Amino acid sequence: MRVFAAYFYARFTVRLSCCIVAEPTALEEAVAYFIRARNETRPSAPAKTRNGSSTTMSSLTGREKTARCAHLLVKHTESRNPVSRRTGDQITMSKDHAQRYLEGLLEGIKAAPDSETAFRELCSSRSDCGSFRETGDLGDFGRGQMQRPFEEATFALQIGELSPVVDTDSGLHVILRLPLRSAPATERPAKKARAAQVRAAHLLLKTTSSRNPVSRRTNSQITLAPAAAQTELEGYRAEIVASADPHKAFAAKAKARSDCSSFSSGGDLGNFGPGQMQKPFEDASFALDVGEISGIVESDSGLHIILRLA
């Protein structure tokens, strides 16, 4: 029945096409037509793997599901939340100005001897995203987790490649694609057990955005803006790390400049466990190795650098 149905279908189709194709005259041609149509609509047989299991072509050539990138975000007055997560300040830069500004930064990055290092440094000092603390690194993420233009730009890049300026509701971005952090489960190192307690010292700079903008060292009202505090604290950290005795230099700087009452003990907070400190401070402290100094950590109290003592 299928053969005859195909035959009559073929005849009808040929008549509608105004005889552009010659009308079939034999049953064999109808059979050939039917076989051809059936093969064209039937899915291809799945390929066989070495162990005999089947795999479809989509599993071999499917889109990547996970990516990792760092980004430099410049917000503007049309951004959906026009407040810098780095400085805490309201954004006053127009979109056109932000476009020219970011294009200029991108040219400088590409011209640098080490583009990735230049990019990461600018992420720390210029990005308006909270990821500035991680030199712009957003970690691994899957499809559907980022705004669509950002996702598409990231997945289109090769590892180590920089994007042009990308426009999203958040602002304007330059993106650097990075290798995935995650490894296959069989290759992941054993997770390091979290200590029950740590001991840390810190140097706190309060800002006008701190929840209690009064220095515990001077008892004076704080007038330091978040951006100025960021720059000042970056300078202190660089000075401490470069010193002959970083621990001694850290304690001396905390005594002279910290706005926490721990200034009198060189910033030493003693031992503390989970839940005793603000979450960003706790996480940063427990993540450090003994003797390691953190990058800048932001909490409701202000901006900190932390030295893990034990």
* pLDDT number for residue 261: 96
Domain coordinates in residue numbering, the chain: 1-42, 66-178, 196-308
Q: Is 243 left (phi over 0), alpha (psi -120 to 50) or beta?
A: beta
CATH number of 196-308: 3.10.50.40
Question: How is residue 293 annotated by DSSP?
Answer: B
DSSP-assigned beta bridge partners for residue 200: 308
Helices (H), the chain: 2-16, 27-41, 57-61, 95-111, 115-126, 148-156, 226-242, 246-257, 279-287
Task: Report helix angle 246-257 to 226-242, nearest 10.
Answer: 150
pLDDT at position 13, please? 40
Name 224's bridge partners: none
pLDDT attached to residue 193? 62
Is the pTM above the cut of 0.85? no
Reduced to 3 states (helix: H, G, I; strand: E, B; else coil), residue 156 is helix
- The CATH class given to the 66-178 domain equals alpha beta
CB-CB neighbours of 101 under 10 Å: 17
19 to each of 11, 26, 128, 143, 169, how far by Cα in Å?
10, 16, 67, 50, 56
Task: State the catalytic residues.
Answer: 71, 129, 147, 170, 173
Q: Encoding tokens for residue 142? A: 């899957």
Task: Give residue 34's pLDDT.
Answer: 39
User: Tens digit of pLDDT per residue, the chain (310 long)?
Assistant: 444 444 444 443 433 333 333 444 444 443 343 344 334 333 333 333 333 333 332 333 346 889 999 999 999 999 999 999 999 999 999 999 999 999 999 999 998 888 999 999 999 999 999 999 999 999 888 888 889 999 999 999 999 999 999 999 999 999 999 999 864 444 444 445 667 899 999 999 999 999 999 999 999 999 999 989 988 998 898 888 888 899 999 999 999 999 999 999 999 999 999 989 998 898 889 888 899 988 888 999 999 999 999 8
